[in-house]
Structure 1
Amino acid sequence: MNEITVEIWADVICPWCYIGKRKFETALARFEHRDAVRVRWRSYELDPTTPKDIDETIAGRMLRRQGIPPEQAAQLLAGVSEMAAAEGLEYHLDKARPVNTFDAHRVVHLAADHGLAEPFQERLMRAYTAEGASLADRETLLRLATEAGLDAHAVGRTLDGDDYAADVRADEERADRFGVSAVPSFVFAEEWVTSGAQSADVFTDLLQRSVSLR
């Protein structure tokens, strides 16, 4: 059968995006035509103004921006971690540092050119949610990319230049055309858009609808 395209807009510092990724993978694994599905990862920055070198926890950001006290923030993050655990993910969000992700997205595009977008996305999301890695740090990105199978020299050249910057911006402009304003967001066959970490059943239904167009 013809190819089915699923575009996923995500930010690598979005805990919900990792949960949504797992739920989508559950749906895809049981989908009869999974071999015909092509997944395209699209860049989305939750906050493009965030500095690269900021040293702030999620709870600290919640206090600074929304006035949420540490105790309440801890409860909210614990709830997210419980939902992640239900999908087999281990979160330590007290370690997470929500930094600028523009360079990380550029390297995701490099990874896509080498057929490694999915493993690199996986490695970035795990590093952020479980390991407290700074995804704006050059050496950290270089290490994570090589762990995902990318060539270290190619990654270094990308990080030291402006390669794929236009691709990140193009993804963000494409998000506007589909009305994507939150992540994770999934666009099936350029027809159906759903946002949030939906259930596997919802994703399965959208995959089945996409088949009907082909």
Structure 2
Amino acid sequence: MRIEIWSDIACPWCFIGKRRFETALDGFAHKDDVEVEWRSYQLDPSLPDHYAGTETEYLSQAKGMPADQVRQMFDHVTQQAAGEGLDYDFDAIVVANSFTAHRFLHLAKTHGVMNQVKEELLSGHFEKGRNIGDVDYLAAVAQTVGIDDDETRRVLSSDEYTAEVKADIAEAQALGATGVPFFVINRKYGISGAQSPEVFAQALETAWDESQNLTVLAGAGSGADDATSDKGDDETFRDGAVCGPEGCD
């Protein structure tokens, strides 16, 4: 079973959603048969590489909200994060464009360590006050997961993986995502937002059960009623010759 998760490193609900999804996945009986793939998304592509103000100032200006209202929102999100074992510090957040970090995540994917890097970047941004737009920080993260420092700096000084990040964003929009986190299971079920572990668990069970049941579109097999015998020659699906335990038609 394949699960794709679109998220932005600068999205507080994405880290909370990651934890809640992981809680559900840990309790899923078939978790070893689940492939999780992180996909890129940007909430604010227009954000400069480095914003001089605080997170409160940025959101107040970007959303046209009073600073007090922004801080109340931060308090609520911080409480929700704490419930998942996360220690958010909005006062320490370094506001930066996340595009370079998303390119770095695609580099990490080629090394098979995308999930580890995703975790570190989210924690660095929301819990540790690290600058996700700083190449030195990204290179330091790379070294902790075994990616060569020179390779990281070479990639991030170029435009490598730019097309991949943009393709992820375009695909999310094509799928109807209007925000993140956005979870897609087997390209059939979409889950928007940092839902509860119970919601994720139910979605996993539903998708798994469905994936184990085959819908036969044509031909019930030898000895079955001919469901298409009265249909015209222009029907797309018709019974065909088959081989079974008793021999072949």
For the aligned pair, the TM-score class normalised by the smaller chain equals over 0.9
Partner of 1:13: 10
**Moved >6 Å (runs of 4+):** none
How far the C-alpha of 1:114 sits from its partner, in A, is: 0.8
Is the 2:50–2:95 contact (alpha carbons within 8 Å) kept by the matching residues of 1?
A: no
Partner of 2:20: 23
Partner of 1:213: 211
TM-score calculated relative to the size of structure 1? 0.95
Partner of 1:51: 48
Aligned residues: CA RMSD: 1.2
Partner of 2:31: 34
Distance change >3 Å, CA 56–CA 147, structure 1 → 2: farther
Higher Rg: 2
Alignment-mate amino acid for residue 200 of structure 2: F
Is the 1:123–1:148 contact (alpha carbons within 8 Å) kept by the matching residues of 2?
A: no
More displaced, 25-34 or 52-61? 52-61
Alignment size in residue pairs: 211
Q: Distance in 2 between matches of 1:145 and 1:15?
A: 22
Partner of 1:61: 58
How far the C-alpha of 1:137 sits from its partner, in A, is: 1.2
Higher relative contact order (CA 8 A, sep 6+): 1
Q: Distance in 2 between matches of 1:64 and 1:48?
A: 15
Instruction: Indicate whether 1:159 and 2:156 are aligned.
Output: yes
1:15-74 CA deviation, whole Å, 9 max, x = no partner? 100000000000000000000000010000111111102222221012212332322222
**Any unmatched runs of 5+ in structure 1?**
none
**Any unmatched runs of 5+ in structure 2?**
213-249
Partner of 2:224: none
1:177 to 174, 197, 207: 174
**Structure with more helix by fraction:** 1
Partner of 1:88: 85
More displaced, 50-59 or 160-169? 50-59
Partner of 1:118: 115
Partner of 1:198: 195
Q: Distance in 1 between matches of 2:21 and 2:55?
A: 25
Instruction: Indicate whether 1:146 and 2:136 are aligned.
Output: no
> Taking every aligned residue pair, what percent have the same amino acid on both sides?
39
TM-score calculated relative to the size of structure 2? 0.82
Is the 2:9–2:121 contact (alpha carbons within 8 Å) kept by the matching residues of 1?
A: yes
How far the C-alpha of 1:86 sits from its partner, in A, is: 0.3
How far the C-alpha of 1:105 sits from its partner, in A, is: 0.4
Distance change >3 Å, CA 16–CA 167, structure 1 → 2: same
